[in-house]
Structure 1
Amino acid sequence: MNSNSQSADAETYSHRLADIVGTAIALLTLTLPVFVIAHFSSSNVQNNQQPLTYTLPKGGK
């Protein structure tokens, strides 16, 4: 009976560890893309602006 209780403790520990690791992975999966997109989009908005005006060629034959 004693060996049965030891395996139950080890199973509970591994299950709890799996829950913690799974939660950490889920939080990273949900938050990391948001921070990466916010970081790169805010730094590139001001640097990549090009003028919207242009000259049209004069047509005529």
Structure 2
Amino acid sequence: MQMQIITTRYETIHRRKPRGYRLWYFQMPDGLTFSYAGTYARAKQAATVQAMRRCRHNQVAIQVCA
């Protein structure tokens, strides 16, 4: 399964790449929002695991919201 984390929306609003510790929100492929409090690296890993559990497609795109 190929995962893609899309940060365009986040970068447009915050004018920088996502990083650091905060409450992260991810728009999942099925339309639900996944949240994770922690570093961006850990949040990205957790969002990827959740997407793999929820979605059975070959290609999955996850949108970083905030």
**Higher percent of residues as helix:** 1
TM-score using structure 2 length: 0.27
**Higher percent of residues as strand:** 2
Larger of the two Rg values belongs to structure: 1
User: 1 or 2 for the larger relative contact order (CA 8 Å, sep ≥6)?
Assistant: 2
